[in-house]
């Protein structure tokens, strides 16, 4: 069966520090991968998605970036964190659609607090 792992679960970082959140998927090949952010009391906002290694689409311009160095690995990064980067970050994956919708499966999330 497929599983998605996301870490760390909780992270406290000072303003201006770098960030690296990692997400890996097991049990499937060539998944679509997604990074979402959930601000307090709000819905999820798609930040990035990837349909293959090295292929990243950005939905919201900001000081975050994403990379996909391996087929089942998706990394969210920042060189300098801002206070506004605080939130709950969720990674998700879906199988290739091939004309049929494939549901997204979410990880457990990372709560990021910027001090």
Using CB under 8 A as the criterion, which residues of the chain lie in contact with other proteins when the complex forms? 32, 34, 41-46, 49, 51, 57, 59, 88, 90, 92, 94, 97, 99, 101, 103-104, 106-109, 111
Of 16, 24, 18, the closest CA to residue 72 belongs to 24
CB of 88 to other proteins, least distance (A): 6
Tell me the C-alpha distance between 111 and 115, whole Å: 13
Question: Is 18 or 97 the residue whose CB approaches other proteins more closely?
Answer: 97
Q: How far is CA 96 from CA 28, 41, 88, 100, 107, in A?
A: 10, 31, 26, 8, 18
Question: Is 16 or 52 the residue whose CB approaches other proteins more closely?
Answer: 52
CB of 77 to other proteins, least distance (A): 20
Question: Is 17 or 45 the residue whose CB approaches other proteins more closely?
Answer: 45
CB of 19 to other proteins, least distance (A): 19
Question: Is 13 or 58 the residue whose CB approaches other proteins more closely?
Answer: 58
Q: How deeply is 81 buried, as exposed, middle or buried, from its count of CB atoms within 10 A (0-12, 13-18, 19+)?
A: buried
CB of 48 to other proteins, least distance (A): 10
Query: Torsion angle, CA of 108/38/25/72, rounded to 10 degrees?
Result: -160
């Amino acid at each position: 069966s497929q599983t998605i792992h996301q870490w760390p679960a909780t992270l406290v970082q000072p303003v201006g520090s770098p960030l690296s959140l990692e997400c890996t998927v097991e049990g499937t090949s060539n998944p679509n991968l997604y990074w979402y952010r959930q601000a307090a009391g709000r819905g999820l906002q798609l930040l990035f998605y990837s349909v293959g290694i090295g292929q990243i689409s950005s939905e919201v311009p900001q000081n975050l970036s994403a990379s996909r160095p391996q087929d089942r690995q998706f990394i969210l990064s920042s060189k300098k964190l801002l206070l506004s980067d605080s939130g709950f970050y969720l990674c998700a994956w879906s199988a290739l659609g091939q004309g049929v919708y494939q549901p997204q499966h979410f990880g457990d999330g990372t709560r990021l607090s910027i001090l």
